[in-house]
Amino acid sequence: MSEVEEGIQQFNRLVAKAALIHPMTWCVKRQWPMWTRSLSGKECCTCEHFVANGGICDPL
């Protein structure tokens, strides 16, 4: 694997991590409910619940 390919893979991993961290950070700062789609449809998720579940909103 070339240095360029390795750099691209590292960047892609960082982007994936940032995508997970950003919604949680936004939620904690704003303290607004988050709406997410669960298997049963749309459920309301509070910030506390969102963070406690590691960014996953289960039906309340």
Task: Band the pLDDT of 13: cuts 50, 70, 90.
Answer: confident
CA distance 42 to 5: 39
- The stretch 28-57 carries a mean pLDDT of 58
> Where along the chain do its domains lie?
3-52
Task: Band the pLDDT of 20: cuts 50, 70, 90.
Answer: low
- The stretch 7-36 carries a mean pLDDT of 62
The DSSP code for 44 is E
